[in-house]
Amino acid sequence: MRSTTSPDDAIMIGESMTSDPAANAGRLVYRLLLAVDIEKYSVRGAREQFLAQTDLSQALETAALRTGLNRRLWEREVRGDGELSVLPESVDASQVISGFTRELGRAIGAVNLRQPQRPRLRVRLALHHGTLTPGPFGPAGDAPIVVSRLLDAKPVRTHLAQRQDLDLALVISGSLYQDVVRTGFCALDPERFRPLRIKVKGTSYQGYTYVPAGRARRAALIAQHNVPRQPGPHLPLTAEAKVLSLPRPDEIVTG
């Protein structure tokens, strides 16, 4: 994937700790991982694949900047249709789950609005925190496997396919939901998450998909409260009373 940072600034997984794999052997770290993937990437032509990569890279950069995250410090394993990133130890998981994901959705939505003639950019985003150790070809351990399995989970793909009003489908691991979202330290409503369980190669993985309120529901709320009412006896005959009920911040989606 093309990055908006220079080669000297980018930190690739396996290089950030030390370039000697033997020196990294047995060094276990606990980190937050992020994996992102472009929907229907393989059906695009070479030029559209390049443009989709560029758009996603810029959207990730924009979302990181808006939430105070420095992507130059991310340990990134770049893939053709996305990336797997290990975030710094100091990163606040609740900030990433709510703030970064919100800004990423907005950034992708802005891309699609600017370029309506292009294939729409839609992505899946998976988050997990766990243990790993740096390796010469990328991070080794359970954490990168878990976040990759959740990213590719069929229920997440189906969710994005069915919700055409969304540009971003978010899935988080079961442990991340229990440790961060359910505690109330995350701005996203825990009730908006739906559990999922998948089994891959004999191993079970549990996650939670975020299900924001749809545009139709928000439009219905506004329409319901925007219907003109008959003026009451205490109002002038030309006046109309209107009440507008806006969705909660966690119900706002872009796409």
What count of Cα atoms within 13 Å lies in the side-chain half-sphere of residue 211? Answer: 16
- Angstrom distance (rounded) from CA 35 to CA 104: 13
Threshold 0.85, pTM exceeds: no
Give the model confidence (pLDDT) of 77-124 as tens digits: 988 899 999 999 999 999 999 999 999 999 999 999 999 999 999 999
pLDDT digits (tens, 9 = 90+) for 220-255: 544 555 544 444 433 333 333 333 343 444 444 444
d(CA 10, CA 12): 6
Closest CA to 242 of 223, 221, 228, 222: 228
Beta bridge partners of 127: 34, 172
Query: Residue 25 above 60 pLDDT?
Result: no
Instruction: Find all residues with CB under 8 Å of 248, minimum gap 6, and list them.
Output: 189
**Cβ–Cβ contacts within 10 Å for residue 254, how many?**
19
- Asked if residues 56 and 107 have their Cβ atoms less than 8 Å apart, the reply is no
The Cβ-side half-sphere exposure at 42, using a 13 Å CA radius, reads 0
Most confident of 13-22, 171-180, 245-254: 171-180
State CA 92 to chain mean position distance.
Answer: 15
